């Protein structure tokens, strides 16, 4: 059973006198659109989110605005029914309201966008327009739309020019509509890493042949693998260029799979290069695991690869510790001591559902 917002408010009151410190990493909080509390549905819910964030030292909100082809912001690249419903209920744009409320407390708002995953949404507008040809695929025979699913979801092909234009318009719309927005975070900007042998679309194979002068020589072909890796990197670059053409100073970040070998070799996501080349402002590493030792391994792997975590946010999975708050507390403390620029919680609804999870945030940093 979900714990009501009032339980969090009681906990806040009990912790309000805890001393704050200006030292230490920043704190970030992911806010999902599909879990309770549904923050965009009322001003009260958004105000409660801002109060909680302020009292727990959170200075960055990653607010989900696009998921599975459905949009909570106005755009021509998605199903905007969720946005229209929330706007009608509030009488104004919900994200614009949240940005004002958060910034009045010194909290940044970054639009969290699920880019290449359509979830299980068979009715996603991009599918209605272009059909299954824009979905990434392996070499198995496809007998219908459902056979394109990977881990129960559809993935768009990052190398397809139609996908790039669609997503480019989306991020451009977000940047233009919200001039006070602090940043955009690209999520699901990768190939699937479940049985990683995707990218075999007709358009991709044509483009690879044009560049390499031949077809791929199997999935282990190093030129083919590097070509796919470059499709993801060039998508990041194109989207960022479109964002900065509208808002040059808007912060751009991505999420990143861990460990780095998994990201690089299975999902073709070279977040190390994105950081070192300055392609993005930072990467949020999704260090989600309840297994003893694995979280520490993710931190050490990132440090070894990068040397410094000064442009990394470490995301800790509260969702996987709902029944074991002590695990979340330990990982949160390790993240804050890691030297990363920020520690991030996935996600806010879990802290509402289980207030014990919020204690390490509400106790503030030690002076």
What mean pLDDT comes out for the span 88-116?
98
CATH number of 5-362: 3.20.20.80
Confidence band (pLDDT; 50, 70, 90) for 34? confident
Query: Which sequence spans correspond to the domains of the chain?
Result: 5-362
What mean pLDDT comes out for the span 256-278?
97
φ and ψ at 220, to 5 degrees?
Answer: -90, 5
Nearest-10 crossing angle of helices 94-103, 81-90 = 60
Confidence band (pLDDT; 50, 70, 90) for 364? low
What pLDDT, on a 0 to 100 scale, did the predictor assign at position 1?
35
Full 3-state SS string of the chain: CCCCHHHHHHHHHHHCCCCCCCCCCEEEEEECCCCCCCHHHCHHHHHHHHHHHHHCCCCEEEEEEEECCEECCCCCCCECHHHHHHHHHHCCCHHHHHHHHHHCCCCEEEEEEECCEEECCCCCHHHHHHHHHHECCCCCCCCCHHHHCECCEEEECCCCHHHHHHHHHHHHHHHHHCCCCCEEEEECCCCCCCCCCCCCCHHHHHHHHHHHCCCCCCCCCHHHHHHHHHHHHHHHHHHHHHHHHHCCCCEEEEEECCCHHHHHHCCCCCHHHHHHCCCCCEEEEECCCCCCCHHHHHHHHHHHHHCCCCCEEEEEEHHHHCCCHHHHHHHHHHHHCCCCCEEEEECHHHHHHCHHHHHHHHCCCCC
pLDDT at residue 367 above 50? no
Confidence band (pLDDT; 50, 70, 90) for 365? very low
What pLDDT, on a 0 to 100 scale, did the predictor assign at position 69?
98
Q: Which of 202, 195, 189, 113 is nearest to 156 (CA)?
A: 189
In this predicted model, what pLDDT tens digit does every residue of 145-179 receive, in sequence order?
A: 999 999 999 999 999 999 999 999 999 999 999 99
Buried b (16+ CB within 10 A) or exposed e, 37-62: bebbbebebbebbbbbbbbbbbbbbb
What mean pLDDT comes out for the span 182-207?
94
What mean pLDDT comes out for the span 261-286?
97
pLDDT at residue 14 above 90? no
In this predicted model, what pLDDT tens digit does every residue of 292-350 receive, in sequence order?
A: 799 999 999 999 999 999 999 999 999 988 889 999 999 999 999 999 999 999 999 99
């Amino acid at each position: 059973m979900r714990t009501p917002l009032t339980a969090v408010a009681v906990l806040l009151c009990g912790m309000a006198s805890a001393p704050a410190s200006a030292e230490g990493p920043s704190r970030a909080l992911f806010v999902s659109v599909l879990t309770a509390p549904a923050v965009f549905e009322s001003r009260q819910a958004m105000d409660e989110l801002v109060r909680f964030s302020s009292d727990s030292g959170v200075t960055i909100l990653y607010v989900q605005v696009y998921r599975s082809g459905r949009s909570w912001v106005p755009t021509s690249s998605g199903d905007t029914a969720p946005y229209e419903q929330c706007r009608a209920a509030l009488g104004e744009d919900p994200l614009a309201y949240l940005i004002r409320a958060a910034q009045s407390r010194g909290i940044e708002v970054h639009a969290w966008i699920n880019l290449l995953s359509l979830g299980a949404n068979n009715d996603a507008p991009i599918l209605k327009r272009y059909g299954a040809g824009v979905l990434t695929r392996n070499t198995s025979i496809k007998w219908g739309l459902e056979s394109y699913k990977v881990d129960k979801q559809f993935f768009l092909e990052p190398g397809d020019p139609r996908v790039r234009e669609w997503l480019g318009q989306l991020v451009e719309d977000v940047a233009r509509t919200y001039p006070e927005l602090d940043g955009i975070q690209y999520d699901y900007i990768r190939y699937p890493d479940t049985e990683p042998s995707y990218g075999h679309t007709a358009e991709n194979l044509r483009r690879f042949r044009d560049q390499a002068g031949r077809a791929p020589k199997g999935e282990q072909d190093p030129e083919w693998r590097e070509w796919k890796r470059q499709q993801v990197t060039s998508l990041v670059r194109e989207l960022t260029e479109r964002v900065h053409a509208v808002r040059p100073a808007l912060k751009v970040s991505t999420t990143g799979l861990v460990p780095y070998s998994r990201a690089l070799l299975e999902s073709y996501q070279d977040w190390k290069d994105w950081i070192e080349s300055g392609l993005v402002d930072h990467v949020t590493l999704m260090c989600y695991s309840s297994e003893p030792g694995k979280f520490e391994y993710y931190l050490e792997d990132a440090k070894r690869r990068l040397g410094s975590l000064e442009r990394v946010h470490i995301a800790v999975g509260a969702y996987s510790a709902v029944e074991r708050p002590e695990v979340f507390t330990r990982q949160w403390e390790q993240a804050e001591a890691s030297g990363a620029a920020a520690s991030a919680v996935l996600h806010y609804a879990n802290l509402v559902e289980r207030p014990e999870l919020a204690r390490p945030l509400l106790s503030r940093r030690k002076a």
